[in-house]
Structure 1
Amino acid sequence: MKVLIHGTGFAGQGHTDAFRWAGADVVGMVGRTEHVVQEVAGKLAIPYAGTDWAAALDACQPDIVSIATPGGAHYEVIKQALARDCHVFVDKPMTHSGETAVELRNLAQAKGVKTAYAASFRYAPSILHAKRLVADGAIGEPTEVECISHFNLDRNIPFGWSHEAAAGGGRLNNNFTHTLSIVASVVGDDIQSIIGEVRDDLGRAPIVEGVHNFMTRRDFIPDDLNDPTLKWGDSDVEWSYTVLAKLGSPLASKPVSVLFKHGGLVPRFHEDHIVFYGAKGAIYIKGHYGSGQLSLYLDGAWVDQDLPEDIKAANPDVKGETEQCWHYLAREFLADIQGKDVPHYPTFKDGAQYQQIIDVIRQNDNWTDITDLA
């Protein structure tokens, strides 16, 4: 299977490694800047490198395209790939809006191609362990879930795609997508109702040239933030959110209540965590995406649980939580394309649903004015 990568940064390089590990042939890479794409493709020994996506599709004739750019750059390149009957692997967010995400989902369904949506932290080993425990009845009927995270991001990270809604920025697009996928994978994906509040705590960020890799953007924070010649860009996305949801579950007689709480700019006091509560017990996992130690609460005590050997064996032996999950999903995706039986994985169906949910939350119109109450 031939794969063409769109994106040269952390995700582009990560997708390249994931597809190679899964057994595919990465034949090309496209980026926005000529010298950057040539440098990255050369480093990764990718034979084709360029800045013209349509030309790359024609030259490489890929079976699969892997979209590893910010969400605002997804729509047109995915449309072009679908027109050529390519299977599509896309990082989250699927696009910058629910409308465009639904359009791409419908196009992919009409084409009959396979799609994968990389809200992929559902494949963290402790999450897979929690899914098994819940399915086996270890906590009884699931009743509640809470996902709590505080990132304490530097307010002066250079202005870029993460600050702009049209570019696919915002914490809902880049944090909530993962936690919603995690909860849906463990308790069930029948998302029935949602309510949320968002807040832009940032306001503005310095504009700096030369940032090409999301993971190194902190290195570009200006030394003198009071420089009168420094230019600033205005944020138009949320940096904090609180979301409540109800999910129908085949394991529960009533909808499961879920709290998603994220503060992008505030420090944590205790560890970030995900907790699954049930009628008979609970599961606590350290880490904002549940990649840490899993503990089970039964008979009045929390007990750390060892990871099952088969889950250990299935976990890709690569460095980095994000990279492990990309590898896992790429393996599932390739196996499905090749006609093998695989468990359900996130697709454009999920991506379009999540994007519409984000649009609803961002309306931020769920408040009830109680100033006239006695």
Structure 2
Amino acid sequence: MLKVLIAGTGFAGQGHADAFRGAGCEIVGIVGRTDHVVREVAQELDIPFAGTDWQVALDTCKPDIVSIATPGGAHYEPIKQAIARGCHVFCDKPMTDNAESAVHLYELAQAQGVKTAYAASFRYAPSVQHAKQLVAEGAIGEPTEIECISHFNLERDIPFGWSHRKKDGGGRLNNNFTHTLSIACSVVGEKILSIIGEVRDDLGRAPIVEGVHNFATRRDFIPKDLNDPNLKWGTSDVEWSYTVLAQLESPFAKKPVSVLFKHGGLVPRFHEDHIVFYGNEGAIYIKGHYGSGQLSYYGADKTWQELPLPPQIADAIPDVKGETEQCWHYLARDFVADISGETVPPYPTFKEGSAYQQIIEIIRKNDNWTDVSHLG
């Protein structure tokens, strides 16, 4: 039985532990920043080792796999140390907080011969898998374009934390675009040919509140009195909205597939968030910002029809609550099977993670504009 050491005690850490147990692994330890928190989580999850020192945990637990479930800015050193010890690495997105360190980790993993998994994992949403199957079967003809639209309407006063800071792996590109880019690549083709985009920080600041340890419960800590003169504020330095255009090479099309990624982190939605795959003979529409809702198909009869999941996809859905948790289970399942020598379909690795981090840096430069103010 493969042994897994978890880094991170919040929502992702607990989700990763459950996913690896579902894949038949033994969770031998968990590491966090705060002693009493990591001990409480370890007791709750029945994990034998709990600590705050990663090196000690590696020495004590001697894991086969490490699972990195901390914010992106805290990924580089723990992953580097784990690779040096020959551990396979499962890492949540973003891979790191910058392109250079992400590329370095990918190169280290390649040199050491360890396997890696990069959890831009909503490509495993059942309706996305269904769309992938339909496109491969030629249901929409040659794919021509993809549209990924989402509006999260996040509360502006969520306590200041890692999601507001570039150095900690924050920003909507790191934590939203990584998933939708992975979904688009999964369905029509993994090779990204070109990219252009712009970002905007329309938040500015957020209140500083102590005691937030779990990303999933951060809304519970929004201050009741935002006008309190004693309240301290942190300054955001990351994007909360983005618009990105990409071109993907597809084995199912003669020409590159155009992709629009439009995300507004702080604005309300009117119609559903959605992902649409268009082709020269039809289209596939999936409700939900990560394609986890109902799939509808537009074909030769020129009408939209809701399609049920094929049995082979429906029967393989992990029996856990939560879309995010289900997708971690899918990826952990394939990762463990691959490590164990089984043949598995391709899954996202540090190759994709490092490429995505480089693409995010290109978009964040925000230097794609052409000044036309002098025209007319």
RMSD: 0.4
Which residue of 2 is the match for residue 26 of structure 1? 27
Question: 2:355 aligned with 1:353, yes or no?
Answer: yes
Which residue of 2 is the match for residue 215 of structure 1? 216
Which residue of 2 is the match for residue 370 of structure 1? 372
Question: 2:330 aligned with 1:331, yes or no?
Answer: no
Question: 2:62 aligned with 1:74, yes or no?
Answer: no
Q: CA deviation at 1:269?
A: 0.4
Aligned residue identity for 1:165: K
Name the CA distance, whole Å, in 1 between partners of 2:185 and 2:22.
27
Which residue of 1 is the match for residue 289 of structure 2? 288
Name the CA distance, whole Å, in 1 between partners of 2:124 and 2:33.
30
Name the CA distance, whole Å, in 2 between partners of 1:342 and 1:200.
40
Which residue of 2 is the match for residue 160 of structure 1? 161
Name the CA distance, whole Å, in 1 between partners of 2:90 and 2:38.
20
Question: 2:320 aligned with 1:341, yes or no?
Answer: no
Which residue of 1 is the match for residue 246 of structure 2? 245
Q: CA deviation at 1:315?
A: 1.1
Counterparts in 2 of 1:1-374, with a 5 A limit? 1-298=2-299, 299-374=301-376
Name the CA distance, whole Å, in 2 between partners of 1:355 and 1:190.
15
Name the CA distance, whole Å, in 1 between partners of 2:326 and 2:305.
26
Aligned residue identity for 2:6: I
Aligned residue identity for 1:113: V
Helix, strand or coil at the partner of 2:213: coil
Name the CA distance, whole Å, in 2 between partners of 1:165 and 1:265.
18
Q: CA deviation at 1:197?
A: 0.6
Residues 313-338 of structure 1, C-alpha deviations (whole Å, 9 max, x = no match): 11111100000000000000000000
Name the CA distance, whole Å, in 1 between partners of 2:232 and 2:348.
40
Q: CA deviation at 1:18?
A: 0.2
Residues 241-280 of structure 1, C-alpha deviations (whole Å, 9 max, x = no match): 0000000101000000000000000000011000000000
Aligned residue identity for 1:88: V
Name the CA distance, whole Å, in 1 between partners of 2:76 and 2:180.
23
Aligned residue identity for 2:339: I
**TM-score, structure 1 length as denominator?**
1.00
Name the CA distance, whole Å, in 1 between partners of 2:6 and 2:329.
15
Gaps of 5+ in 1: none
Aligned residue identity for 1:83: A
Helix, strand or coil at the partner of 1:243: strand
Aligned residue identity for 1:82: I
Q: CA deviation at 1:371?
A: 1.3
Name the CA distance, whole Å, in 2 between partners of 1:321 and 1:154.
21
Stretches (4+) displaced over 6 A: none
Q: CA deviation at 1:372?
A: 1.6
Residues 181-240 of structure 1, C-alpha deviations (whole Å, 9 max, x = no match): 000000001100000010001000000000000000011111110011100000000000
Residues 120-142 of structure 1, C-alpha deviations (whole Å, 9 max, x = no match): 00000000000000000000000
Q: CA deviation at 1:171?
A: 0.2
Name the CA distance, whole Å, in 2 between partners of 1:112 and 1:231.
47
Aligned residue identity for 2:266: L
Name the CA distance, whole Å, in 2 between partners of 1:100 and 1:78.
11
Aligned residue identity for 1:216: T
Aligned residue identity for 1:6: A
Helix, strand or coil at the partner of 2:305: strand
Name the CA distance, whole Å, in 2 between partners of 1:74 and 1:253.
39
Aligned residues: 374
Helix, strand or coil at the partner of 1:144: strand
Helix, strand or coil at the partner of 2:75: helix
Name the CA distance, whole Å, in 1 between partners of 2:74 and 2:347.
23
Name the CA distance, whole Å, in 2 between partners of 1:311 and 1:118.
20
Helix, strand or coil at the partner of 1:355: helix
Name the CA distance, whole Å, in 2 between partners of 1:285 and 1:218.
28
**TM-score, structure 2 length as denominator?**
0.99
